[in-house]
Structure 1
């Protein structure tokens, strides 16, 4: 049995806790959050609860930990976990600056633990289907890729109390950029970024409203990335993810805004069918990702989306922010 701890008992931490309860090879032994009000339901289930993750590592005899803290709070828990000899599943991005990402990656390597960064679209059924098509040669040579990943304004104004410490780049680009790297098996050689602001700043949230990046890849194609998190709350789904992949043989268009079921009447919305439970069993991409991480631990197998790749994605996004700030092209 693999004994897990979770740091962060919010939306993601709670989802991971539910997923662990459905896996016969793992169990949730302990959970930590600075907000004690989030821990009551776990204590009632016999799970050990902590307000300090350092004490959790000292007391709970863990094999692995899930770090589900806000984007900017991954450094210290990751270092403590690695030093405690725990395998790590950490939310994306690995860190929100290159220096922290490098320190995390170096420490994980030194302590020889497994790490998976939660780039969950690698387990998202539509993208898995396209990945298989590309691997079979049906795409041909990549000509161009365009990715749009937006959120409604609910996300930075209500869902994330720490939005001022993030940006569309840090919150959304990790998903999008990792996805293109994974689908194509390619890496980036040239970076240009742009950022726009105004809407959130008038609301007292000091961060960008929108970011764009044009990335040139080693094999010669370019990919554009567009993320805005101030879309109107009337959007039928809280996020809008669309990917266009143009190849020399075939092209693919993936629209995760449309998940096959639409509601009409008092409110128009798209039901979220790609992340759901059947008879209490979680079946969405994050849960499949965690099941896969458990299998990697059991088999002693290094994940593809590991700390080294997580460091790489962080450095690319850091460079996008610098490019946007300084209005210059950056060589990767």
Structure 2
């Protein structure tokens, strides 16, 4: 039986603990170390039987892992990612890859120059729901894609913000922290975004970020997208409350995405494919839904298994640093458009420019 690949997690908060649980469920991985500055969280990590370090310097000095997962606050991602790259350690950076695209370019350039694998934690791409949706689109079940609509509404309690002050600061609003997942899936399913027009409302709690935003997205494929996000609306229409990925969220039977094409439409995450009969589409003809089949596996466990495949077998990252950068660029375009009240055009990053930056 192949030896398990030792992984380390930096940051043992909500997300870091979920990665630890996923590692425990992945036969090819083991949790070798946790890096965490808070004493109480370090004590909880020690209970898992792994090595525990107060900072990355101490961890790198000791060694003992073949891959590093960064589940630390967003502003630390680039500096810590650069440390991992300098140590030659494959790294999985939680989303977003950085708080600013220019900083992400620096990390990507360093990783590519050093030949160190860099992955970004857009774990929803590993969900069998999304894989089934992608297969339906590729089969032509929807015909020519025309539109996509995503809703990301939920209410975060005050305790969520009081537990970590950085969540109240610029760049930590729901656009960057939450919608980045939805934008990544819209790109994954519908192609690249080429222009953005957005509106945002300041936090009603007085924080230094938005708590409501909407955007109109134009895709290179011709698809037109609409998206809305808020962490101050009581509602069931978000991926968290519909996809059943994490039991901490109360599940509902609602959907949060709709993808429309010339021959059919697909709602997610319930995977209901709506089509007219065997003839040509006609709004006077009966329309019915078919529930598509999909596997039932944990996307976080799937992501860990893929990370192991990258480390041990040289597999190409499913969500590379460049993919994380492109999603972040759409988020930045939304923020800029909302601030300046204008359309923002996006151009795909040229590979040579990314590789030579920094």
Q: Same fold (TM over 0.5)?
A: yes
8 Å contact kept, 2:203–2:212: no
**Given the superposition, is the C-alpha separation of residues 76 and 286 from structure 1 closer, same or farther in structure 2, using an over 3 Å criterion?**
same
Match of 1:172 among 173, 178, 181: 178
CA distance 1:159–1:141, shift in 2 (3 Å): farther
Q: Is the 8 A contact 2:26 2:301 kept in 1?
A: no
Does structure 1 retain, via aligned residues, the 8 Å contact 2:255–2:267? no
Shift in alpha-carbon separation, 1:107–1:212, aligned structure 2, 3 A: same
Instruction: Choose which of 162, 167, 175 in structure 1 pairs with 2:166.
Output: 162
Equivalent residue for 2:65, pick from 62, 65, 74: 62
Q: Residues of 2 paired with 1:169 and 1:50: CA distance?
A: 32
Classify the secondary structure of the residue corresponding to 1:196: strand
Q: RMSD of aligned C-alpha atoms?
A: 2.3
Q: Which residue of 2 aligns with 1:189?
A: 194
Partner of 1:226: 228
Report the 3-state secondary structure (helix = DSSP H, G, I; strand = E; otherwise coil) of the residue aligned with 2:31: strand
Q: Residues of 1 paired with 2:326 and 2:80: CA distance?
A: 20
Question: Is the CA contact (8 Å cut-off) linking 1:150 and 1:172 kept in structure 2?
Answer: no
Q: Counterparts of 1:5-154 in structure 2 under 5 Å?
A: 5-154=8-157
Aligned pair 1:215/2:220, yes or no? no
Structure having the higher Rg: 2
> 1:30 and 1:136, CA in 2 relative to 1: closer, same or farther beyond 3 A?
same
Query: Gaps (5+ residues) in structure 2?
Result: 242-248, 271-293, 347-358
Cα distance 1:70–1:233, how it changes in 2: closer, same or farther (>3 A)? farther
TM-score, normalization by structure 1:
0.85
Q: Check whether the contact 1:243–1:253 (CA below 8 A) recurs between aligned residues.
A: yes
Residue 81 of structure 1 deviates from its aligned partner by 0.7
Secondary structure (helix, strand or coil) at the match of 1:231 reads coil
Distance 1:128 1:61, change over 3 A: same
244, 262, 267: which one aligns with 1:248: 262
Query: In 2, Cα distance between the equivalents of 1:315 and 1:233?
Result: 28
CA–CA separation in structure 2 for the residues paired with 1:288 and 1:294: 10
What is the CA deviation profile of residues 281-302 of structure 1, one whole-angstrom value per residue up to 9, with x for unaligned ones?
xx52222221222122222011
